[in-house]
Structure 1
Amino acid sequence: MLVKSITEKEIYDIGHAFGYYDYGQETGMSAAFSGKDATANYICAYVRGVLRSGFLHTTSDRLGVPVILETDAKSKCDKYVHLDMELAETHDLGAFGKLYDLIRYPEPTDELLKEVLP
């Protein structure tokens, strides 16, 4: 579903979650920036940009579409798998670490099937 508005605090919380995530021994997003604050600021700016452009969406099984995401931390990948996502592919980026592609397919419902099947 399209997100039409969110508060500045929600944007800050999203940025902070990415900027200050504990990657443990793994290389995280902050390696691409000058530190955790810079990473958080980048994510906040990104969220504001996609919100203004009309591209910020939430996901929901109700929509009947798969949820697809990518993460750069094995610990996050493991958490997503624990939440019923499937690891679709791993990309080895050498010194830059790895990227993990995950997907979760929606549960078919009678309502969804009525819309899809004649």
Structure 2
Amino acid sequence: MASSSRDLPAVELAVTLDWRDTAAVLRVAGEIDLLSAPEFEEVVDTVLADEPRTLVVDLRAVTFFCSAGLQVLAAAHRRLPERALRVVSDSAVTSGPLKTTGLDTWIGIHATVDEALSQ
């Protein structure tokens, strides 16, 4: 499987993009709050402009996740084919809001990037 990686411009968040064939793996670290959500949205939009078949958003290094972050993921979900957006989460900080809002019924939550890519 071919893989390439690059850092994306971010101020509030640490973000890395890794391509695995036609899948984009976006690793995000930091807090996704009202101040950083527009930056998160810009990064996701930049990735989606490259038309990945699958987008995996790794949120394991995110320490705070608010509704503005959920809105970014919901918008990305609407732009991708069904089940093409997958989230990697190993904590209630990020998976809890997805489950509470019911977004987990449309966006798969996985424990690892490899698990998300194998779906």
Relative to the length of structure 1, the TM-score reads 0.29
- Greater relative contact order structure (CA < 8 Å, 6+ sep): 1
Relative to the length of structure 2, the TM-score reads 0.29
Q: Which has the larger radius of gyration?
A: 1
